[in-house]
Chains A and B, each alone.
Chain A
């Protein structure tokens, strides 16, 4: 089973609606990061939330982290067609666990229709 599992696998919404993606993980983490990947391109870092933080905002993005439930969510408000992409959560393990590597989930494919 995956360290990071994302839900849903695919999401289709209309422009202007909000999009929520969830990420669950299994072991303790140092931090959790969200990345975006446009079709056929590299990943772009969106936001990093540390294990002692509960919520973080960046523009239209809101990330929450619940370490007791080992889960995180990414909310994109007032979505735009340009938000169409795959979104990945990545968990950074503590240094004592596999040297603190970053483990990516399978991703959520978001489609925003104009």
Chain B
């Protein structure tokens, strides 16, 4: 079974530039999550989708971050414009979606973003 795919793996940009990350979840998984993991910390949930609808985006900085999951499959997360404090690893995860908080989340390898 293929795992969660993410691209790119690494990205270096200058502040005020824009960047986009892509995630393809495990086939058949209805729930998709984007997390931000700052160095030395645990992952923090940015947004959770159930199929193509947003379940929770309470911690997404909506003035600069946006995410979409068209057709309920793959997803993109965009930052525009980027700030220095956005330097982090962006992790995508997916789960079956029958009982999202009570089931295993499968994580992708992450995209490591460095903002200069």
Asked whether B109 is an interface residue with its Cβ less than 8 Å from the other chain, the reply is yes
Partner of A31, one of B55, B101, B109, B112: B101
Q: Are B42 and A4 interface neighbours, CB within 8 A?
A: yes
Please report the number of residue pairs spanning A and B whose Cβ atoms sit closer than 8 angstroms: 60
Question: Would you call A104 and B100 a contact (CB within 8 A)?
Answer: no
Binds B, one of A39-47, A59-67, A69-77: A39-47
Given A4-B42, A42-B4, A106-B41, answer yes or no on A93-B101 (Cβ-Cβ < 8 Å).
yes
Partner of A42, one of B42, B44, B101, B110: B110
Query: Considering only CB atoms and an 8 Å cut-off, how many residues of chain B contact the other chain?
Result: 25
**In-complex Cβ contact of B42 among A92, A93, A106 (8 A):** A106
The answer to whether B56 and A99 have CB atoms under 8 Å apart is: yes
Q: What would be 15 A-B contacts, judged by CB atoms less than 8 Å apart?
A: A31-B102, A42-B4, A42-B91, A42-B109, A42-B110, A43-B107, A44-B107, A45-B106, A88-B43, A100-B100, A101-B48, A102-B45, A102-B101, A104-B42, A104-B43
Q: Which 8 A-B pairs have the closest CB atoms?
A: A104-B42, A42-B107, A100-B101, A92-B101, A43-B107, A45-B104, A42-B109, A104-B43
Q: A43-B43, A101-B45 are in contact. List 18 more A-B contacts (CB 8 A).
A: A4-B42, A30-B101, A31-B101, A41-B109, A41-B110, A42-B4, A42-B91, A43-B91, A43-B93, A44-B107, A88-B42, A92-B101, A98-B56, A100-B101, A102-B45, A106-B40, A106-B41, A106-B42
